[in-house]
Amino acid sequence: MARHHKTGGDAVDHNRRAVLAGTVKGACTVGLIGALLAIPARRRAEAVALRPPGAVAEKDFLAACVRCGLCVKDCPYDTLKLSDLGDGPTLGTPFFNARKVPCEMCEHIPCVAACPTGALDKGLKDIKNAKMGVAVLVGQETCLNFLGLRCDVCYRVCPRIGEAITLELSHNARTAKHAFFIPTVHSAKCTGCGKCERACVLDEAAIKVLPHALATGQLGKHYRLGWEEKKSAGGSLVEPSPEVQVRGMEGVEMTPGGTYKLEKRPDGGFKEFKP
Amino acid sequence: MSAARAAHPGIDNPGASAVAAKGWLAANKWLLARRLSQALVVAVFLTGPLWGVWIAKGNLASSLTLGVLPLTDPLMVLQALAAGHVMTAAALIGAAIVLAAYLVVGGRMYCSWVCPVNAVTDLAHWLRTRLGIEKGLSLNRRTRLWVLGGVLAASAVTGAIAWELVNPVTMLHRGLVTGSILTFGSASLITLAVFLFDLGVAQRGWCTHLCPVGAFYGLLGRAAVLRVAAVNRAACDDCMDCFAVCPERHVIAPALRGADKGVGPVIMSHDCTNCGRCIDVCSKTVFRFDTRFHNVPSDAPPSKAGVKAA
């Protein structure tokens, strides 16, 4: 102050300065609270965002990913982005929006090669084994094929055409003379690249790539599929049922499947049945 | 207040006498070098996206320079470890290189020469001095160590790298190298928050008191070789300019005023950021960069009788 004023003006100047300083402090506090509140307030629920190929399970991903963006930089199609406020995924982590730019499934998987932390698993050698998500035909009331047309675009653009998406025929009862060609996703083959979602001709895609858990559901861990168990064991795992005597069928031979060999009589009854 | 200012004009305008004695350039040499260094740390990441000349990819969290040199923030590796994830080789090698470098040059050199937030808080401090805002909220500078402990505890409990939800350092750097700073996103909001906090709430609040990244690098710097030394402390005329500009002013006194107590002239505190601003603003050329090995009192020429009294 002494630089700008003579001593007489010092008191007035000091007052003005104190008022100014107080105003700035108040404004800073208001601004600070505003900025801090704006951070969570800008969060917007977005249904899903997909992780790059090879991403480890979400829980482990957040322990491993340092948000460096090296995968983003090495993505030749600008598919990947780092999340910012409102994008959905944890701040700074890589994701992609299949409807905007799907994964082109590069043969050499540059995003995985670029990852320094192990958040993208280098064990993924064949992009066909990627599990970024699973396509689900959610719009069963809007999908043109479900309406009986032959759009087929999702099926046509699928990098694993005929494997990850097949067209399943069924009878169109409405016209009684046409067929439905229902696009059907096979989760074991679908990589979640999102080309189907990108290509869907509707205003809002009828087929969407969802994270695995959302898309496929999860059987209870104690569930066993009898037919699978039987196949892997090479035979039935349960004892065959004991023969049950049916009144009137005494002495009639049973098949190994547990049914009677019966011969129909002209009057509609069974030859072997003796009431 | 006016009396105090009259006695120490430096507090109002530190460095004025150094400019008069050495010329503007010499009185701002290290500040300019630091700003250049901070700008380069952003620029090397921008040449690729802007002109297709790739020097460095990634950001301050983890990067790859010229396709061969991996660098990773060791605090990131530590948080991941706390969260239960051992990083792969590239990140571990990168972190080891960073660790080794800062063990030599001083951990908090990261704060003053690399970290982009430093320019923001320096600006806030400069403006605060200009506007005459008094100290404000009083914080203990050890708070940052507690924050650091909390960050590691949060990582362990949540199984996620916790500080990255808040970290202004990586958010601002990411915003600068990806251009997202131009949007109303995390980078601009968190930077604004830090700026306003330092300007209107607490003097040198963020970098000196709260930032756990700085606290971590500070711990790394305990054994650092490169130091600022008050080799010419006998020439000190108590103008206080160095104290006025120092972001960690408690580090200066032991070295500058330690001659009588037999303390060496090297600033040994790991809180020192090696910013070199004290070297700039001293009109008597008291300070210079030196090594920790020149820290016996005889390394500083003995006090000339009468200098202090004058």
pLDDT digits (tens, 9 = 90+) for B42-51: 999 999 888 8
A111-133 mean pLDDT = 93
Give pLDDT tens digits for B112-141.
999 999 999 999 999 988 888 877 788 888
Q: What is the nearest CA distance from B86 to chain A, expressed in angstroms?
A: 8
Q: Tell me how far apart the alpha carbons of residues A79 and A70 are, in angstroms, rounded to a whole number.
A: 13
* Chain A residues close to B84, C-beta within 8 Å: 60, 63
Which member of B6, B61, B196 has the closest CB to residue A32? B196
DSSP B87: P
Task: Give the A:B interface size as CB pairs under 8 Å.
Answer: 169
Question: How many Å lie between the alpha carbon of B159 and the closest alpha carbon of chain A?
Answer: 6
Instruction: Output the pLDDT for position A256.
Output: 67
Yes or no, beta carbons of B6 and A114 under 8 Å apart: no
Distance from the Cα of B298 to chain A's closest Cα (Å) equals 41
**pLDDT band for position B287 (cuts 50, 70, 90):** very high
Structure confidence at residue A42 (pLDDT): 57
Determine the Cα–Cα distance for residues B239 and B256; give it in Å rounded to an integer. Answer: 12
Report d(CA B204, CA B136) in Å as an integer: 10
- In a 10 Å sphere around its CB, with 0-12 CB exposed, 13-18 middle and 19+ buried, how is residue B288 labelled? middle
Confidence of residue A243 (pLDDT cuts 50, 70, 90): low
CATH top class, domain A134-216: alpha beta
How does the average pLDDT of chain B come out, rounded? 86
Q: Which two tokens stand for residue B207?
A: 């970098």
d(CA B277, CA B241): 10
Q: Which residue does chain B place closest to A87, by CA atoms? A: B185
Instruction: Look at A171-175, B15-19, B79-83, B248-252 and tell me which has the smallest mean pLDDT.
Output: B15-19
Are residues A153 and A200 in contact, defined by beta-carbon separation less than 8 angstroms?
yes
Q: In whole angstroms, what is the distance from residue A273 CA to residue A252 CA?
A: 9
Tell me how close the Cα of A116 comes to any Cα of chain B, in angstroms: 5
Measured distance CA(A62)–CA(B46) in Å, rounded: 27
d(CA A42, CA A21): 31
Which site among A30, A36, A59, A62 would you substitute to test the B interface, given the most B Cβ atoms closer than 10 Å to its Cβ? Answer: A62
DSSP string computed for B152-178: HHHHHHHTS--GGGT-HHHHHHHHHHH
| Candidate from B58, B183, B200 with C-beta closest to A28 | B200
CB of B2 less than 8 A from some CB of A: yes
More confident residue, B34 or A219: B34
Distance, in Å, from the CA atom of B248 to the CA atom of B121, rounded to the nearest integer, reads 13
pLDDT of B77 reads: 93
B5 interfaces chain A, CB cutoff of 8 Å: yes
CA distance B176 to B290: 33
| A positions 28-67 inside 8 Å of B (CB) | 28-29, 31-32, 35-36, 38-39, 42, 59-60, 62-67
| Distance (Å, whole) CA B266 – CA B292 | 6
Scanning B11-50 for CB atoms below 8 A from A yields 12-13, 48
Q: Which of B87, B189, B197 sits opposite A64 (nearest CB)?
A: B87
Mean pLDDT of B248-261: 87
Q: B214 pLDDT band (50/70/90 cuts)? A: very high
**pLDDT tens-digit map of A72-88:** 999 999 999 998 887 88
Distance from CA of A127 to the nearest CA of B (A): 20
Q: What's the pLDDT at A47?
A: 52
Q: How many other C-beta atoms are found inside a 10 Å radius of the C-beta of residue A11?
A: 10
Tens-digit pLDDT profile for residues A173-184: 888 889 999 999
Tell whether B182 is within 8 A of chain A (Cβ): no
What's residue B306's pLDDT? 41
Q: Which amino acid is at A31?
A: G
Q: Name every chain A residue with its beta carbon within 8 A of the beta carbon of B90.
A: 116-117
CA-nearest residue to A8 within chain B is B2
Contact B57 A92 (CB under 8 A): no
A63 close to B161: Cβ distance less than 8 angstroms:
yes
Quote the tokens at residue B201: 């709430």
- pLDDT above 80 (res A253): no
Confidence of residue B12 (pLDDT cuts 50, 70, 90): low
What is the residue extent of each domain of chain A? 46-127, 134-216
Of B5, B134, B196, Cβ closest to residue A31? B196
For residue B308, which amino acid is it? K
As to burial, measured by CB atoms within 10 angstroms (0-12 exposed, 13-18 middle, 19+ buried), residue A172 is: middle
**In a 3-state reduction of DSSP, which class is residue A72?**
helix
Specify the pLDDT at position B98.
Answer: 93
Nearest CA in chain A to B1: A14
Residue A8 has pLDDT above 60, yes or no: no
What is the third-level CATH fold of A46-127?
Answer: Alpha-Beta Plaits (3.30.70)
| Over residues B66-79, mean pLDDT | 92
- The pLDDT of residue A96: 94
B64 vs A3, A32, A70: nearest CB: A70
Residues of B in contact with A82 (CB under 8 A): 174, 178, 180
Q: Is the pLDDT of residue A111 over 50?
A: yes
pLDDT of residue B162: 87
Quote the DSSP letter at residue B135.
Answer: -
CA–CA min distance B37, chain A (Å): 20
pLDDT higher than threshold 50 for residue B81: yes
Closest CA to A121 of A200, A212, A52, A221: A52
